[in-house]
Structure 1
Amino acid sequence: MKITIERAALLRSLGHVQSVVERRNTIPILSNVLLKAENGELALTATDMDLEIVESVPADIARPGSATAPAHTLYDIARKLPDGSQVELDFTADTLTLRSGRSQFRLGALPVEDFPVMAGGDAGHRFTLSASDLKMLVDRTKFAISTEETRYYLNGIYLHASKAKTGAAEIPVLRAVATDGHRLARVEMALPDGASGIPGVIIPRKTVIEVRKLLDEAADRIEVQLSDTKVRFAFDSIVLTSKLIDGTFPDYERVIPTGNDKVMEVNAGQFAAAVDRVATISTEKSRAVKLSLDRGILTLSASSPEAGSATEEIEVSYDNTALEIGFNSRYLLDITQQIEGDGVRFTLADAGSPTVVRDVADGSALYVLMPMRV
């Protein structure tokens, strides 16, 4: 294999694929990126056995072929080369030689046949959605993904087709849900064409993070292919394939309360700023903040044996009996960061029951937050 490629194109693609590669690998070949040159393009492939990303970039190919090279080392070299430079990659025997200007690097290359290729599988369902819609589904739910490895079935976003009630009618929606047992995020959008029969799938946290990184540079349309065991996202010249989490997502509808009768509306920005200030005093471990509600007034308070205490009052829309309830301040801030409108609505029952949080101006997202003792 012998090719010449622009440094900017090589760096951009290496930046995308090398982030999949784990820094520490017990299997040496998984530290490498597969380079395949043919038909005027260089295809770069990286995998961790559960997730695979392939990106193709135009290249001047003098001799087609394939090679592998250490992903992070190759990326670091490309990053340090001068802007606008041309890069020559020449693979012979078991060595990949990189030349650019007066610089030359010789990298050890492992056999191409050792590089694992993820089987495609039969993608029984295909649909497309806009990059902005996929960003919205990911951004408003990923903060609630569990990091507790023992509950592996919560370590991702549950994507499925469902129905949403609008008045007396029901409309088909594509729904993304994540929960860690303390908070739940549910976001929905109109069901794309072709997605009506999709199975409910759990997309792993690492896949969610990698897809989200790529979406900032993506063209408008993303093709999603789904089977029972894999998901594939294809856009521009990138194809990302991932195994799905093999587990059953819990019946999240059961934890969304329907009988909460106390409604508080507050300016989202003012509320978040007040929570952030008061939480400065709360203990690092619990991060507890108490909300004391009375007609028209919300008093936020926190205390800790070491740091002292803090209180702050803000005006709210609330016309019901007095109520005191405690929450983890970090969870409150995570949810209010998803509120794009000015107003946020809390629907409460009592100090021990879950609270529903919604954006007053946008009904597509719903959040459930479990209270804590303070």
Structure 2
Amino acid sequence: MRLSIDKLSLSRALAHVASVVERRNTIPILSNVLLSIGNNELTLTATDLDMEIVETVPATAKGEGATTVPAHMLHDIVRKLPEGSDIALQRDGAEGRLTVTSGPAQFSLQTLPADDFPALSVEDLGHAFTLPAADLKRLIDKTRFAISTEETRYYLNGIYLHAAESGGKPVLRAVATDGHRLAQAELPLPKGAKDMPGVIVPRKTVLELARLVEDADGDVRIELSQSKIRVTTARVVLTSKLIDGTFPDYQRVIPQGNDKRMEVDNTAFAQAVDRVSTLSSDKGRAVKLTISDGKLTLSVNNPDSGSATEELTVDYGFDPLEIGFNARYLLDISGQLESGTAEFQLADPGSPTMVRDVKDASALYVLMPMRV
């Protein structure tokens, strides 16, 4: 088993697959990447038993075969080799080692048998549809910041992907919430997704998908069952278990009667929040919004460090209102709005507030207030 491959192709593929591999493993084979050679292609496979990534790259190969080597070690070696270099991989079956050669540099890595490498069971997942990689990237980018990291509420540790209706039209909707904020994004329902089950895609899988679609062109194919998801791009196949749980009825927390609307320049608002929150306490990070006719005052009062205020001109013609929010949550939402204007739909200081991009009806954000 011998092959030659350029550094860029191998490094990029290893970056994808090695990110799945946990750095500390009680099962040695799970620290390894499976390298398979055939038809002048190198196929790399990595798994943590919950998720599997398989990536295929062109290579010049002699013979066929497979072996496994430490994923992060191989990635570090390839990453440190000179740019533009060619890399040769050769397996010595008798010694049980893989030799990595590039110019004058040579490394000999211990291997484990390919037959011992575990594989996620492959079955017909039942539901399949295709959508542009850019659309999948958008759904992920618009919602992933709101995924909960609280392990006790495991059913919130991912993005809820499901078919829904919006304005009387079928949509594919992604929702994430951590109980303090909610992010929702949608796009027209792809053909074949009508009867798909609602699934919760785990946080780690979401992060890996974000990396994959960052580099992907064209369409991606998504296959689903109640327990697994498979996403296929031109050269990468990601298969993952799903979170076995019930996502809460998120529509109950989306306010319907918020009758006070404020429009504000999104860039100016984010910059002002960032400035005044410099004085907020690390624990609370609360910023008070005082809204009156045509004016918004952002303020922070921290007994330990001082106070800060900043005024902005806004479009608002309702009763005066004071409401507090976590500054980081405000900045996270502002970062998702693509047009220049943010619309806040408010009710009272104790009720959820909805934030939207005035030029993008396909995404919305809900933010719980704080006491200030």
Relative to the length of structure 1, the TM-score reads 0.97
Tell me, what secondary structure is at the counterpart of 2:247? Answer: coil
Matched, 1:84 2:94: no
Distance 1:82 1:293 in 2: 57
In structure 1, which of residues 211, 214, 217 is the aligned counterpart of residue 215 of structure 2? Answer: 217
In structure 2, which of residues 95, 98, 115 is the aligned counterpart of residue 113 of structure 1? Answer: 115
Deviation digits for residues 264-307 of structure 1 (CA, Å, limit 9, x no counterpart): 11111111111111111110110000011111111110011111
Distance 1:121 1:205 in 2: 23
Matched, 1:132 2:130: no
1:135 counterpart letter in structure 2: K
Residue 123 of structure 1 deviates from its aligned partner by: 1.5
Deviation digits for residues 178-233 of structure 1 (CA, Å, limit 9, x no counterpart): 00000000111111111111100000111111111121210121111111111111
Aligned equivalent of 2:224 = 226
2:62 counterpart letter in structure 1: A
8 Å Cα contact 1:283-1:303 kept in structure 2 = no
Residue 74 of structure 1 deviates from its aligned partner by: 0.6
Aligned equivalent of 1:61 = 61
In structure 1, which of residues 101, 104, 108 is the aligned counterpart of residue 103 of structure 2? Answer: 101
8 Å Cα contact 1:121-1:227 kept in structure 2 = no
Distance 1:267 1:95 in 2: 60
**How many corresponding residue pairs?**
370
Aligned equivalent of 2:352 = 354
Distance 1:35 1:250 in 2: 41
Aligned equivalent of 1:188 = 186
In structure 1, which of residues 148, 151, 156 is the aligned counterpart of residue 150 of structure 2? Answer: 148
Deviation digits for residues 147-176 of structure 1 (CA, Å, limit 9, x no counterpart): 0001000000000000001xxxx0000000
Tell me, what secondary structure is at the counterpart of 1:301? Answer: strand
Structure 2, unaligned runs of 5 or more: none
Aligned equivalent of 2:23 = 23
Relative to the length of structure 2, the TM-score reads 0.98
Structure 1, unaligned runs of 5 or more: none
Aligned equivalent of 2:169 = 171
Residue 83 of structure 1 deviates from its aligned partner by: 2.7
Tell me, what secondary structure is at the counterpart of 2:123? Answer: coil
Distance 1:129 1:118 in 2: 24
Aligned equivalent of 1:40 = 40
Q: Which moves more between the two structures, 132-141 or 95-104?
A: 95-104
Matched, 1:261 2:281: no
Residue 137 of structure 1 deviates from its aligned partner by: 0.4
Residue 6 of structure 1 deviates from its aligned partner by: 2.1
Aligned equivalent of 1:11 = 11
Distance 1:328 1:310 in 2: 15
Tell me, what secondary structure is at the counterpart of 1:10? Answer: helix
Identity %: 61
Tell me, what secondary structure is at the counterpart of 1:210? Answer: helix
